[in-house]
Amino acid sequence: MPSPDKKKPKLISGTGNPALTERIAEYCNLNIVQTEERHFSDGEFYIRINEDVRGSDVFIIQPTCQPGEKNLMELLITIDALKRGSAGRITAVIPYYGYARQDRKTASRTPITAKLVANLITTAGADRVLTMDLHAKQIQGFFDIPIDDMFARPVFIADLKDRYPEDDFIIVSPDVGGVVRARSLAKYIDANLAIIDKRRPGPNQAQVMNVIGDVTGKNCVLVDDMTDTAGTLCKAADALMEKGAKSVTAYCSHGLLTGDAKDKIMQSALENLTITDSIAPSDSILSCPKIRVISIAPLLGDAILRIHNEQSVSSLFDYGDDGTPGGRVQLINT
């Protein structure tokens, strides 16, 4: 007879975002499996699982954000340790899937790294993947194992309804590539849609060309899957204000915020930027008055419990006007 503990899902935290794992564990009323982690003098990563996982349903929570190579290798090594420990099922919970922007060949002799990462995770021994807001939806097809691509949309909608109870806002896509994402959110809250038409002259450079849609006197809400250098969002905010917008705020699932992104945001027309804790925010980001962080722990926690209990994950997004069940919001900084 299996012990009662075997019937519960087991959570393992990588070093990429332990605070998120703790929030998920608290939400799900689960303990985090104890592990022993260290690095050899040459930088090699070592992990030992200090609890019995034989036959257990195990969830490893590890985003592959910066430093991407370190966090990815740690995920792969942990999967291998669990596989060799006879875990019953291994789910890689990757709140932010790194290398997702390399989803196709953009020139001769270039890699499709998003596919390579999918192969590595599968070969290491993962049985399924749980992630959120993939940069390119076709990455789901790179995996030969089940993958659940969650949406931050429920927590964004709940937060929007709380902040703009009069619904006097318009959803804006910062580029043509994000129109489907922005339209989906606008549909669920019955809001109008505008689009920023931009031309990118070089990597991490964005030049706004035009605003498609009437934003005059509106609270504009920019929606994107990630913000890296924040150049696109800041230029889009400036363009919207020039077109007569009342205010501009932004929601992004993944706040990479590299380089001088924080300074750009502070100097921009953006009223504020709301990101999730899919990537652990630094103290500098948490202290920024223009950046808000809301937690996706309830969303991922519900998904983990549903996967463990063999229930539908997609039903998390069949919610009512209040944004529930997936829309429970936890504000990290105030």
Residues classed as catalytic: 198
3-state secondary structure the chain: CCCHHHHCCEEEECCCCHHHHHHHHHHHCCCECCEEEEECCCCCEEEEECCCCECCEEEEECCCCCCHHHHHHHHHHHHHHHHHCCECEEEEEECCCCCCCCCCCCCCCCCCHHHHHHHHHHHHCCCEEEEECCCCHHHHHHCCCCEEEECCHHHHHHHHHHHCCCCCEEEEECCHHHHHHHHHHHHHHCCCEEEEEEECCCCCCCEEEEEECCCCCCEEEEEEEEECCCHHHHHHHHHHHHCCCCEEEEEEEEECCCCCHHHHHHHCCCCEEEEECCCCCCHHHHCCCCEEEEECHHHHHHHHHHHHCCCCCHHHHCCCCCCCCCCCCEECCC
Sign of CA dihedral 201, 240, 294, 115: negative
